[in-house]
Amino acid sequence: MRALRRFTVRASLPEPLQALGTLATNLRWTWHPPTQDLFASVDPEIWARSADPLRLLSDVAPERLEALAADGRFLADLRAIATDLDEYTTGPRWFQHRGADERLPAAIGYFSMEFGVTEALPNYSGGLGVLAGDHLKAASDLGVPLIAVGLLYRSGYFRQALSLDGWQVEHYPVLDPRGLPLELLTDDAGGPLLVDVAMPGERVLRAKVWKARVGRIPLLLLDSDVEENDEDLRGVTDRLYGGDQDHRIRQEILAGIGGVRAVRAYCDLTGHPAPEVFHTNEGHAGFLGLERVRELVTGEGLDFDQALAAVRAGTVFTTHTPVPAGIDRFPVDLVQHYFGDGTLLPGVNTQRVLALGAEENPGLFNMAHMGLRLAQRANGVSRLHGEVSRDMFRGLWPGFDVTEVPIRSVTNGVHGPTWAATEMSALPADLGEVTDARLWELRSTLRGRLVDEVRKRTRASWLQRGASALELGWTSSVFDPSVLTVGFARRVPTYKRLTLMLRDVERLRALLLHPERPVQLVVAGKSHPADDGGKALIQQIVRFADDAGVRHRIVFLPDYDMSMARYLYWGCDVWLNNPMRPLEACGTSGMKSALNGGLNLSIRDGWWDELYDGSNGWAIPTADGITDPTRRDDLEAAALYDLLGNQVAPLFYDRDADGVPTRWLSMVRHTLSTLGPAVQASRMVVEYVETLYAPAASSASSVVGEGFRGAKELAAYRQRLRSAWTRVRVLDSELSVDGSAVPLLGTSVDVRAHVELAGLEPSEVDVQVVLGKVGDSDELYDVVTHPMSYGADGSYRASVSLPHAGAVGYTVRVLPRHDLLATSAELGRVVLAG
């Protein structure tokens, strides 16, 4: 029989055990081993089956709970841990200890389409979501006052299985929010608190709001499955990345616009301070800025430009993709359809909305462009990705050198307490106190744990594919706990090149089956359900791994998620990553491996480009300039086999008299001590606070105060620029050199220019001299700029020293200047001489 409907009944806890409920519903347990141990002690068997406190509390026998309620030792442990959580969530932390002279935001709204906090709340598809989850956890540890906002998907992302012939099969188990660690926000009357957004045709999309507690951080998740909604609208939050463009824009409207409304309702309800800064994590959530414009237009009587100035000041936008094809774009008609009748955002001009998302293709609305135009501050997620992003979006700042494009970078990090094995975290900070023998034993324990998991999952996968238990005896001996173990797990877009390792199957086979120095390879990853190309790649791996000659040394494990990922990061000796450079924005799985002493073997892309130091792993050489992808793959695959066979494996199997690979371990130590701190999400969140959130809070307060005086001034200034700018010109300029005909490097030169200001005041512009090398096309590069000062005679002058030897050129340019601009490139306006 199939159930008509499923629902979850929560067990009632005896009075002395009430605190267990608090511990179970705050997701801090996911990164707090003492809380996990406490739950495990409630019923070790249930916990071993599924490490999920809510499930444990509903499955455990009432007699066991009664016994625990009378168990003095258990109650003392429970009290201690409950007190610890209380102190953790309410006491001062890093953020509260910052200097009082700093302008810090009272709260930050953090918007993302997915959040990967724990497998017990499967609301993510991959890296972006897990990163958002790690961001919240680190913010919680640091006391950074985030309010996180996203959607609750009824089926999360799909679960992956395999058919007998290795084709990906998707299924979508339905989640019951009442069985998840969530609490429904209710209004004063006790009913579910609903937020709504208008839909075309005088319809309304409503959503209830669930709250998860991630340590100190409230995570608000909007859920459209409410009875008052039309049937099609109930399904808006059915799946993550599941539907067509129409489905997706509805999700993004709900997340962005509904999300701001949910934050407002939450703050009203709880007295939580309102966010002064809003962080748009990737373009999907970008409509949040439009709702804030609407609030200011209808609530404060500002016009669009004034509201825009106010909103931009307090907004941070993070881009995560280095591939133009990865950017979210909607047909302009579709945006028009949802915004055009004026009910979704009353008072906000649709043409202004459309202009914010304008791109090269006039038929498309670009969410990343809107994100950048709605945010005064923006960043990519590794140094290299910052560079790539400045280049990719430079069209929004025409006339500027690529280095001046105002997109900085904050390299991603991972949450240590979540991703490091407990035993690893427990090592003394000074690794000098840890003997090689102990470190090796620990690495071997973690590898052994992975091997057990591989066997279990391989068997389960074959049973699911239709094999009989009788023919699966071999699965109990796949993998060998003493063999060099390499991991490769990630989503399967083309650029990640899942099958690069299969480029030369004979070489791969030789590595796997080497008589003295074998390698074993664990592979996992999901392909987007609509991507048959990706599924074909998975099938190639699966077919190779199905071969009885190698299946003990290579496995493809279906259903990569956080619960599997953990074992891989703990147990793999080597973490392999071979994207097509520079298409990996950052990549974080290798960071998680490094936290556990795994050595990275990776193309120098994303984070590895900046953190590889020659002795913390290996860089696979990239055939960067080669445009033929087949040749490039051949070259890079050959380099990979060479490294694995000639460097990695020999080092791993080079043992001392006690069987310990001392040279290998010195790389492990180096990785743990140098990468350990660098890859932490706490480092990342501190950087966000210091370089983005605090400056944004400061900008926001300067535009908002005294009845939005700053915003009004800035808007008026931009208005003046709009009418004057086309007439601003550098009338003439000259550069004079003293003395000898060929000036020496460092010689001082005088530059003088006259500028037509077209009615702007001298105080409203910056005039600069730009010096740089010139190539054949007279294009300036490696430029340095110097301010020119306005003199009584109406000319601009500067005295500058020549920065380069060889062919040097200069020009003069005029830029907007206003105290409330974060950089002079911000408005994308510049007038160049000539």
Ligand X SMILES: *Cc1c(COP(=O)(O)O)cnc(C)c1O
CB of 562 to ligand X, least distance (A): 5
Residues in 128-157 that interact with ligand X by CB under 6 A: 130
Which of 588/622 has CB closer to ligand X? 588
Q: Whole-number minimum distance, CB 446 to ligand X, in Å?
A: 16
One character per residue 773-792, x = contact with ligand X (rule: CB under 6 A): --------------------
Q: Which of 132, 136, 484, 565 binds ligand X (CB under 6 A)?
A: 565
Distance CA(261)–CA(268), nearest Å, equals 11
Q: Which is nearer to ligand X, 148 or 236 (CB)?
A: 148
Please identify, among the stretches 88-96, 261-269, 557-565, 797-805, the one whose residues bind ligand X according to the rule CB under 6 A: 557-565
Which CB sits closer to ligand X, 128 or 316? Answer: 128
Q: Can you spell out the DSSP letters for 455-483? A: HHHHHHHHHHHT--GGG-GGGGGSS-TTS
Which residue number, 128 or 356, has a Cβ lying nearer to ligand X?
128
- Give the Cα separation of 675 and 652 in Å (integer): 20
- Does 327 bind ligand X (CB under 6 A)? Our answer is no
CA gap 393, 749 in Å, rounded? 35
Task: Pick the closer one to ligand X by CB: 542 or 603.
Answer: 603
Q: Considering beta carbons, is residue 78 or 130 the nearer one to ligand X?
A: 130
Among 53, 109, 122, 127, binds ligand X (CB under 6 A): 127
Range 65-72, long-range pairs (CB < 8 A, 24+ positions): 65/11, 65/13, 65/14, 65/17, 66/14, 68/17, 68/42, 69/14, 69/15, 69/16, 69/17, 70/16
We find the least distance from the C-beta atom of residue 284 to ligand X, in angstroms, to be 17
Three-state DSSP class for 136? helix
Backbone region of residue 605 per phi and psi (left: phi > 0; alpha: psi in -120 to 50; beta: other values): beta
Residue 494 beta carbon to ligand X: minimum distance, rounded to whole angstroms = 14
β partners of residue 485: 520
Interface residues for ligand X in 574-593 (CB under 6 A)? 587-589, 592
CA atoms within 13 A on the CB side of 40: 10
Phi and psi angles of residue 741, each rounded to the nearest 5 degrees, phi first: -70, -45
Quote the radius of gyration of the chain (alpha carbons, Å).
29
Q: State the nearest-atom distance from the C-beta of 679 to ligand X, in Å.
A: 11
Q: How far apart are CA 229 and CA 282, in angstroms?
A: 28
Cα–Cα distance measured from residue 166 to residue 581, given in angstroms and rounded to the nearest whole number: 29
Report, in Å, the least distance between residue 108 CB and ligand X. 23
CA 60, CA 238: separation in Å to the nearest integer? 31
Spatial distance between the Cα atoms of 445 and 442, rounded to a whole number of angstroms: 5
Q: Which is nearer to ligand X, 130 or 356 (CB)?
A: 130
The residue among 191 and 533 lying less far from ligand X, judged by its C-beta, is 533
C-alpha distance across the termini of the chain, in Å = 80
Q: How far is the CB of 126 from ligand X (least distance, A)?
A: 4
Q: How far is the CB of 130 from ligand X (least distance, A)?
A: 4
Q: Is the Cβ of residue 319 or residue 811 nearer to ligand X in the bound state?
A: 319
Tell me how far, at minimum, the Cβ of 292 lies from ligand X, in Å: 30
- Smallest distance, ligand X to C-beta of residue 547, A: 27
Size of the site for ligand X (CB under 6 A): 12
Question: What's the rounded Cα separation, in Å, for the pair 788 and 759?
Answer: 19
Residue ranges of E strands in 243-370: 277-281, 315-318, 329-331, 364-366
Q: Which two tokens stand for residue 1?
A: 């029989």
Q: Residue 39 or residue 419: which is nearer to ligand X going by CB?
A: 419
Comparison of 415 and 503: residue with beta carbon closer to ligand X? 415
Min. distance of Cβ 620 from ligand X in angstroms? 15
CA–CA distance, 266 with 186 (Å, rounded to integer): 10
Residue 215 amino acid letter: G
562 binds ligand X (CB under 6 A): yes
Cβ 100 to ligand X shortest distance, Å: 37
| Interface segment toward ligand X; rule CB under 6 A; list 16-24, 123-131, 451-459, 759-767 | 123-131
- C-beta closer to ligand X: residue 338 or 612: 612
- DSSP secondary structure letters along 520-589: EEEEE----TT-HHHHHHHHHHHHHHHSTTTTTTEEEESS--HHHHHHHHHH-SEEEE---TT--S---H
- Whole-angstrom Cα distance, residue 221 to residue 212? 8
Residue 381 or residue 798: which is nearer to ligand X going by CB?
Answer: 381
Residue of 393, 391, 400 lying closest to 327 (CA atoms): 393
Omega before 582 cis (within 30°)?
Answer: yes
What is residue 493's three-state secondary structure? coil
Contact predicate 208/185, CB 8 Å: yes
Instruction: Choose one: 122-130, 136-144, 178-186, 200-208; the region binding ligand X (CB under 6 A).
Output: 122-130
Site stretch for ligand X (CB under 6 A), options 98-106, 263-271, 561-569, 689-697: 561-569
Between 565 and 765, name the residue whose CB sits nearer to ligand X: 565
Is residue 497 classed as helix, strand or coil in its secondary structure?
coil
Find tokens 């996990």 and name the residue.
36
Q: How far is the CB of 122 from ligand X (least distance, A)?
A: 10
DSSP state of 344: S
Contact 371, 319 (CB under 8 A): yes
One of 53, 105, 109, 126 touching ligand X (CB under 6 A): 126
Burial of 52 (0-12, 13-18, 19+ CB in 10 A): buried
Give, as one character, the DSSP assignment of residue 516: S
Task: Give the nearer residue to ligand X in terms of CB position, either 74 or 560.
Answer: 560
Least gap, CB of 137 to ligand X (angstroms): 13
Q: Least separation, in Å, of the C-beta of 498 and ligand X?
A: 11
- State in angstroms the smallest separation of the CB of 131 from ligand X: 7
- If one asks whether residue 122 binds ligand X (CB under 6 A), the answer comes out as no
Residue with tokens 């913390």: 616
Which residue among 561, 605, 633, 766 contacts ligand X (CB under 6 A)? 561
Distance of closest approach, residue 409 Cβ to ligand X, in angstroms: 16
CA contacts within 13 A on the Cβ side of 15: 0
Closer residue to ligand X (CB): 335 or 576: 576
CB of 478 to ligand X, least distance (A): 22
Q: Does residue 490 interact with ligand X by CB under 6 A?
A: yes
C-beta of 327 vs 679, nearer to ligand X:
679
Length of the chain: 834
Taking contact as CB under 6 A, which single stretch among the options 64-72, 460-468, 556-564, 728-736 is the one that binds ligand X? 556-564
Nearer to ligand X (CB atom), residue 43 or residue 561: 561
Asked whether the beta carbons of 398 and 828 are under 8 A apart, the reply is yes
Question: CA dist 44 to 36, 38, 76, 279, Å?
Answer: 11, 10, 19, 41
Site for ligand X in 330-349 (CB under 6 A): none
* Residues 587-626 as x/- pattern, contact with ligand X by CB under 6 A: xxx--x----------------------------------
Question: Does 120 interact with ligand X (rule: CB under 6 A)?
Answer: no
Q: Report the interface residues with ligand X, using CB under 6 A.
A: 126-127, 130, 490, 560-562, 565, 587-589, 592
